[in-house]
Structure 1
């Protein structure tokens, strides 16, 4: 049994320059291949590809490097190459400026790119092309996670976790997180980035119904956050958030579910309040004017398969997006899987389209509030 104790990278990694120790630089080789590709007859089925269908095709897969990209290759990239005949080349980390430069110059060397869902939602029909769902079978993707221009690469949650030695299992809701009289102590909140989680939570705690959250009233959310400003301790990376839990520096915090599990597995006495969970994800995309769109779609379709998603979870800290996936993880790890019905029925899915259209402005407001 494998456990789920691997890191969630931060946005700083997303924008970092590719170092000498990162994935092999083979992007310049991408895009080659036959003009016509025969993927076989009948409807697409996730996790499959016609044997030898992509013989002679170079396909460049781009992600964030490290354990995550290694897991993606082990689960999908390498077996896809073996079955399809394609040569899968790797590059990374994902940089949005590079995607823009490639598309603007009409010299796209990246074929399938793992990106942030909020960024992708704002680039559909711009830097990203629409996916071909005659080639991609999304029927087993968790409802609400796929769009015209992306499918989820994995999912995790931003969730409140609370110290069980101090509060037992009584912290359940966003109102509890904001109640510093009943639950005194330090709260961990991310700074330097923003996304699904704390703003939704502030609004819910202030009386907004979950199904009426969007468009987010950012000013109202910040006003609610002001009520607990003196109790907030900021973290900027997943590793820092996990360390805060393990050291007991914070009594509760809004953290990534993978990092929360890592802390719990290392002995930290915290438990998640899944009613506060907000689902966020990375997604698979195809840049506009990619040279091998049909091959790219075939890769994405294969990636979405049940066994591929199970292995990805077993290799990384992330939950699968195939509804039938049953990864072999330990009992504690099962409690942190978003596909666990006891979790799935409680969490809220972020409105990725809203975030894609409003991310920059919202981050500016949040950053100003943090430093205010």
Structure 2
């Protein structure tokens, strides 16, 4: 996800790079993933290489140090790194050229290109026979698709400056709308409109379970509620680093923000508080490209990454948690209350309805296109 939120398809969550650039900071807690002999035995032992597409900068550097190099040491398979902010267009280009140069990539489930590639069968079925029992039990079934595995989740949630509320800050999106009791400048994302609509509906009394689908009447209701808070939004942030920096600068009292950005700041000692109630959560998947040069090694890489100890290494390395719940035993205690796979936090979040999001309306437009148009018209008004 790029440093700025995707402008082509805003979707209530932050762009890839904006979410991921906080990863280096999150490594402040010491953690060393040990490559034990079991990882080099039996099913995962091999030779040659695997080409893995992820994101640049600190993400790929830390992924190599904490995951890729241990994978090579354990299995004998080398990892070749390639990087892309949004790999889906490049995958489509490779498909059209009839040649796939990558083996593994991380794709955003909210991007139309991902849905198109999945529907046309460009991803290889995952070989779960390579997975150990702990990984199969630790990764929830919804994260284990036939042709993809959840790589990480990212959340957008309410974050506030504790300095602005010495007697206690907001505890809900209703409080975000409560100017009388919780005064101060607010922040919302200009491109993360799905999140803003969801938060508005929650503040207006819609139950978490009733948010999706975002039917026209709910969109009307959300925009009407947003009319109330619009005068108090001092700045509509557009890049992932903005909301946390504006909190630090005391230009915001509270804002929507990415969980990873907030965690990185908190671990640096900045007095921010994360409110997990009714946070929105989105998915990013490991996929294996059908026709890639090293499919067998790609299967082994994904099996390795999802083992509990390695999942913890991935979380530490990238700043965002992989899906294996068993990794919680390997993570620093101070990190657990701050991450979105903590069961207490996860139970409070709102997950999107991807099938509805990409479904077409009677006019031929997708629901995604229609809601984006509604948002742009509201913003311009």
Give the TM-score, by structure 1 length. 0.78
Deviation per CA, 1:120-178: give whole Å up to 9, x if none.
35542326425324346443214533433322212232110123333343412222222
Residue 271 (1) aligns with residue 273 (2): yes
Hey, what does 1:33 align to over in structure 2?
none
What SS class does the counterpart of residue 220 from structure 1 fall into? helix
Structure 1 unmatched runs, 5+: 1-6, 17-45
Residue 153 (1) aligns with residue 151 (2): yes
Cα distance in 2 for partners of 1:256, 1:52 equals: 35
Higher mean displacement: 287-296 or 183-192 = 287-296
CA RMSD in angstroms, aligned pairs only: 3.0
Higher mean displacement: 298-307 or 285-294 = 285-294
1:275-354 correspondence to structure 2 within 5 Å? 275-326=277-328, 327-329=330-332, 331=334, 333-354=335-356
What SS class does the counterpart of residue 250 from structure 1 fall into? coil
* Contact 2:197 2:223 (C-alpha < 8 Å) held by counterparts: yes
* Contact 2:5 2:238 (C-alpha < 8 Å) held by counterparts: no
Number of aligned residues: 334
What SS class does the counterpart of residue 52 from structure 2 fall into? strand
Give the TM-score, by structure 2 length. 0.77
Hey, what does 1:59 align to over in structure 2?
50
Q: Is the helix fraction higher in 1 or 2?
A: 2
Cα distance in 2 for partners of 1:59, 1:352 equals: 30
1:28-177 correspondence to structure 2 within 5 Å? 50=42, 53-56=45-48, 58-93=49-84, 94-119=86-111, 120-121=114-115, 123-126=117-120, 128-135=122-129, 137=131, 138-142=136-140, 144-167=142-165, 168-177=167-176
Cα distance in 2 for partners of 1:344, 1:300 equals: 23
* Contact 2:43 2:130 (C-alpha < 8 Å) held by counterparts: no
Cα distance in 1 for partners of 2:141, 2:164 equals: 37
What SS class does the counterpart of residue 80 from structure 1 fall into? helix
Structure 2 unmatched runs, 5+: 7-14, 19-37, 360-366
Residue 191 (1) aligns with residue 193 (2): no
Give the drift of 1:272: 1.5
What SS class does the counterpart of residue 227 from structure 1 fall into? helix
Which residue, 333, 349, 374 being the options, matches 1:365? 374
